[in-house]
Amino acid sequence: MRYIPENPLIVQGDHTVLIETMSPNYEEARDALLAFAELVKSPEYVHTWRITALSLWNAAASGHTADEVIETLTRLAKYPVPEHIPTSIRDKMSRYGTLRLTRDGEWLRLEADDAHRMTEIRHMKAVKELLPASLDDVSSRVSPRHRGELKQLLTSFGHPVQDLAGYEDGDPLEMSLSPTLSSGEPWSLRGYQVEAVDAFSEGAGGGSGVVVLPCGAGKTLVGIAAMARLGMRTLILCTGHTALLQWKRHVIEHTTLTEDQVGEYTGTTKQLREVTLTTYQLLTWRPSKGATPAHFRLFHEANWGLVIYDEVHLLPAPIFRETAYLQARRRLGLTATLVREDGREADVFSLVGPKRFDVPWKQLEHQGWIAAATCIEIRVPFSDADRGRYVTASARSQSRMASSNPRKGKVVADLLERHQDDHVVILGTYLDQLNWLSRQYDFPIITGKTPMAERDALFSQYRSGAIRVIGLSRVGNFAVDLPAASVAIQISGTFGSRQEEAQRLGRVLRPKKDDNTAIFYTLVTADSREVEYAERRQRFLAEQGYPYRIELSS
C-alpha cells in the first residue's frame, strides 16, 4: 500500500478528510481544502473536513475542476484515496454547469448539455410550471421573474444552475475609498479583503456570492469596497438598528460619500438615498397575521445596482422569497459562518450566490488581524435547595433554572475582580438575570428595549473607556463593534446555537493594539441540561481550533 508519511491528508470513504496539523505540508493542504471542502472541526492535532455536493458546487462556481480536486487529494494523501471518491467528485462537480441560464432578449433561456438531462428537468412536476415553452431538445424559455425560484428548486433536486444571464446596472454612484479617516489616520484594505472583493466581482458569474470572514476581520469594509468597485446605487440589509448605525458610520468614515448620500430606512425614518440601509426586522414586519410584509416594496422602489446582505446566515425566510425576485441585481452576502440552524445553506447558494471567498479564523489570528482567544467553560453547581427544585421540575423549567442559576453571580464577581483592568462584556439571554447582575455589580445593560439614544451613548462610553463593563442581551449577538473588549462572560445562551457562539465570541476578536489576546468565559450549571447545550455550542469553538478548557467552580 502506498504510504507517504510526510503527507498530511487521510481521505476516507465517507467523504471526510482528516488533516494532521503537525505535518510540514499542513498549511498547503489546509489552503487547498478551503476551495472544495467544509471544515467540520479543528482541535489541536487532527482537523476534520467534509466533501459535500454543495462544497463541490461552490468549488466549480469558482472555476475549480474535478481533476484539480482529485489531484490535490491524491498528491497530499498519506494513504491511497478510496477508489469511489474520485468518481463521486467527478459526478457531483459535473452537475454544475450542465444547466445554464442565459439571456434571450426579454426572456431567459435554460440550457442543458444534453437532451436527456433536459427531458429529466421538464418532467419534474414543480419545475415544469416554470418552463412555459420548449425552444428545442436542450433548452426552454424562462420568465425573468422565475429566475430565482427555478434555481432554488433545481438546486434542491441536485441540479445546480450556472447563472450566466447577467445583471442590470443600477443608478451610477460616484464614490471611492477615502485614504484617511476623519482623525487624519491613514488606512487601506488588508490583502485578504482585496482578495475577497476580487473574488466577488470577477470571473464567471461574478457579482453575486458570499464572502466568509470571522467576526472582527472587517467584513463591513469588504462590503464598502465592493460598493466602490461597482459604483452603483446600493441597498444594505442589516441585522438590527445598532448594526445599521455602525454600517452608516463606516460608510461615511471610509469613503468619499457624505452623510446626505447615506440614508436610513427604518420605522421612524424613510430615506431613499444613493446608499440606503435597512434592517431584516423592518422588511419582514407584517401589519397583521398572514399579511404580506409591509416594506418589501423597498426592494423595488429604487434602481439598486447592489444589494448587500449582512450576516447572510441569518437571512429570514421571507427575505429568501423576495431575493428570488432580485436575481437581476448584484448580490453580496457577508457572514462569519455559513452554518444555518435551519439547514438552508443551499438556498443561500442558489439565491444569494455561491461562496466566493473564505479564510480560516486561526490563519487571521496568526497574522495578527484578529485577537488570539482562549475559551474557558466554568461549571457552577446548584445549591442543595435549587438542586432539589431542579430534579422535580419540567424539562422546560429545568433549562431556565440551569441558565439562571443564582450561584453564577458569585463567579461573575470573581471574574470581574480578576479582570478589573480589562474591558468586559457580559452576555446573557434572560433579562431578569442580567438586571439582577447589573444591580449587584453596578454595570449598565443594553437590551432590545433600551432606547437607541441611550444605547448609542453607552456604546460610545464603553469604546472611550468611560465605562469598563457592559451587559448585553441578545442584541449583543450581532454586529456590535466593541474593539476594546478583551473579556466576554457568557452567563446564559440559546440552547445549542453555534451561530450564537460564533457571534458572541466575535465581540472580543477585534485586534488589540497592545496585548492582542482575548478570553471567552461561559458559565454552565454542572450536572444539568445546560451542559448538553454547552457541548453543542462548543462544537463551533473546536471546529475553529480554539483552545477550550473546563474549570470547576467551588
Strand partners, 489: 426, 521
pLDDT band at 497, cuts 50/70/90? Answer: low
Stretch 386-410: mean pLDDT: 92
Whether the predicted pLDDT of 322 surpasses 60: yes
pLDDT at residue 156, rounded to an integer: 92
Stretch 369-393: mean pLDDT: 91
Of residues 521 and 477, more confidence is placed in: 521
Residue by residue, DSSP assigns 503-529 as HHHHTT-S--SS--EEEEEEEEETTSH
* Average pLDDT across the chain, whole number: 88
Whether the predicted pLDDT of 479 surpasses 60: no
| Alpha-carbon 3 to chain mean position | 38
Whether the predicted pLDDT of 289 surpasses 80: no
- Nearest CA-CA partner of 350 in 381, 387, 385, 312: 312
Name the strand (E) or helix (H) holding 101: strand 99-104
**pLDDT tens digits, residue range 406-418?**
999 999 999 999 9
pLDDT at residue 478, rounded to an integer: 62
**Distance of alpha carbon 400 from alpha carbon 510, whole angstroms:** 31
**Percent of the chain's residues with pLDDT above 70:** 95
**pLDDT tens digits, residue range 183-220?**
888 999 999 999 999 999 987 678 999 999 887 889 99
To 5 degrees, how large is the angle CA 295–CA 297–CA 302?
Answer: 125
pLDDT at residue 514, rounded to an integer: 74
Among 119-123, 247-251, 254-258, the range scoring the smallest mean pLDDT is 119-123
Whether the predicted pLDDT of 96 surpasses 80: yes
Stretch 287-293: mean pLDDT: 69
Stretch 89-106: mean pLDDT: 94
**Distance of alpha carbon 83 from alpha carbon 415, whole angstroms:** 54
* Encoded amino acid at 69, one letter: V
The reply to whether domains 191-359 and 365-552 share a CATH topology is yes
CATH architecture of 191-359: 3-Layer(aba) Sandwich (3.40)
**Which CATH superfamily includes the segment(s) 365-552?**
P-loop containing nucleotide triphosphate hydrolases (3.40.50.300)
pLDDT at residue 226, rounded to an integer: 97
- Nearest CA-CA partner of 72 in 18, 27, 19, 9: 9
- Give the start-end residues of each E strand in 113-174: 133-136, 139-142, 162-163
pLDDT at residue 452, rounded to an integer: 79
pLDDT at residue 546, rounded to an integer: 73
Whether the predicted pLDDT of 342 surpasses 90: no
User: How does strand 487-490 pair with strand 517-525?
Assistant: parallel
Whether the predicted pLDDT of 476 surpasses 70: no
SS3 176: coil
**pLDDT tens digits, residue range 8-22?**
999 999 999 999 989
**Distance of alpha carbon 361 from alpha carbon 365, whole angstroms:** 6
Does the pTM of the predicted model rise above 0.95? no
pLDDT at residue 360, rounded to an integer: 75
Stretch 392-420: mean pLDDT: 93
pLDDT at residue 223, rounded to an integer: 97
Stretch 286-290: mean pLDDT: 71
Strand partners, 169: none
pLDDT at residue 340, rounded to an integer: 73
Whether the predicted pLDDT of 361 surpasses 80: no
User: How does strand 16-20 pair with strand 9-11?
Assistant: antiparallel
Stretch 107-131: mean pLDDT: 91
pLDDT at residue 281, rounded to an integer: 85
Locate the domains of the chain by residue range.
Answer: 9-95, 99-163, 191-359, 365-552
Whether the predicted pLDDT of 67 surpasses 80: yes
Stretch 236-253: mean pLDDT: 90
Among 346-360, 374-388, 470-484, the range scoring the smallest mean pLDDT is 470-484
Whether the predicted pLDDT of 72 surpasses 90: yes
Residue 377 φ then ψ, to 5°: -100, 130
SS3 104: strand
To 5 degrees, how large is the angle CA 524–CA 528–CA 532?
Answer: 75
pLDDT at residue 496, rounded to an integer: 56
- Give the start-end residues of each E strand in 319-423: 330-335, 355-358, 372-380
CB neighbour list of residue 63: distance below 8 Å, 6 or more residues apart: 203, 204
Q: Which three cell numbers stand for residue 222?
A: 469588504
CB neighbour list of residue 125: distance below 8 Å, 6 or more residues apart: none
**pLDDT tens digits, residue range 130-173?**
998 888 999 999 999 999 999 999 999 999 999 999 999 999 99
Measure Cα distances from 536 to 390, 529, 541 in Å: 22, 11, 10
pLDDT band at 90, cuts 50/70/90? Answer: very high
